[in-house]
Amino acid sequence: MDTRAIFRQRLERPRPGWLEATTVLRHFSLINYGVPTERLEAIIPREHFEIAKFETGEGPRSFVSVVPFLDLDFNFPRLAPWLKFSFYQTNHRAYVIDRKTGQHAVWFFGTNLGSPLVHLPRLLWKIPWHYTRYCVDCRYSPALKRYESYRYDFESEWCSGRTRLRDTGEPIELMPGFKSLDEMKLILTHPVRGYYRGLDGRIGTYEIWHKEMECTKGIADDLYYSLYERLGLMSKEEMLRPHSIFMCPEIQFDIHLPPTRLGTGSPA
């Protein structure tokens, strides 16, 4: 795989569709964990996806990630550019390979969303998004070019959690499991297609686009997410030891809607 070529291709912005959504993700972080692959085997529908594996200092691992951020001015520029919404969101996902295309992608366990608007995509597209109450303290210093405070606390019946990070202000570097920075960015920060199991049991998918992220390295002070304990993916102690943390104060995203459906799939 020519990771450089694929990465550059993904940086090319596609033409917008009729239901294109755009938003600015503010106070974005990517908290990655390496877990034994077998812990994911009962969750990922493996007739469609291969669970990606990476050689780390702890042996072969597969990655899951927690991705908190503020959606700022989420809108549909072609339909109603004057109608804008802002809300907190946390995505929970695993890294997979699409068996049909051979491309790296992400599998979404689901999403916490801090707005009543969550009920609309649940109703229309059966996306596994869950209403969540948030308490956030994120303060970025442009002068220091790093966060002075980064804290998310959230609560829902589906997943409650807390995220407390320190920003080193240092650029991200190559982490164990990857051959190059391009490969690491392509897989961890730049998957453009996501898949999920809808509330009706069918598999859905949608695509996104964004520029290359300028990230700094973060350090975990306190991390906990009830979903991962419930699924048997990580213990409380393991959640305190992420593989890597990338922090980005702001990045624009395009979301290509509506999602499409692939049918059913079951772990095998």
The pLDDT tens digits of the residues spanning 178-209 come to 999 999 999 999 999 999 999 999 999 999 99
Residue 99 predicted with pLDDT over 90:
yes
Closest-CA residue to 163 (of 129, 136, 189, 140) = 136
- C-beta atoms surrounding 81 within 10 Å: 11
Query: What does the pLDDT look like over 39-50, one tens digit per residue?
Result: 999 999 999 999
**Measuring CA to CA, how many Å separate 104 from each of 53, 187, 256?**
11, 6, 18
pLDDT of residue 1: 54
pLDDT tier, 265 (very low <50, low <70, confident <90, very high otherwise)? low
- Stretch 93-122: mean pLDDT: 96
pLDDT tier, 9 (very low <50, low <70, confident <90, very high otherwise)? confident
**222 token code pair:** 């306190």
Between CA 116 and CA 125, with CA 121 as vertex, the angle to 5 degrees is 160
Are the beta carbons of 188 and 63 closer than 8 angstroms? yes
pLDDT tier, 3 (very low <50, low <70, confident <90, very high otherwise)? confident
pLDDT tier, 264 (very low <50, low <70, confident <90, very high otherwise)? low
pLDDT of residue 138: 98
pLDDT of residue 267: 56
Closest-CA residue to 251 (of 219, 218, 212, 194) = 212
pLDDT tier, 266 (very low <50, low <70, confident <90, very high otherwise)? low
pLDDT of residue 93: 98
Number of continuous H segments (helices) and E segments (strands) in the chain? 5, 14
The reported pTM is 0.95
Query: What does the pLDDT look like over 207-249, one tens digit per residue?
Result: 999 999 999 999 999 999 999 999 999 999 999 999 999 999 9
Closest-CA residue to 216 (of 243, 247, 242, 187) = 247
pLDDT of residue 268: 44
Q: At the topology level of CATH, where does 3-264 sit?
A: Acetoacetate decarboxylase-like (2.40.400)
Q: For the chain, give every domain's residue range.
A: 3-264
Residue 25 predicted with pLDDT over 50:
yes
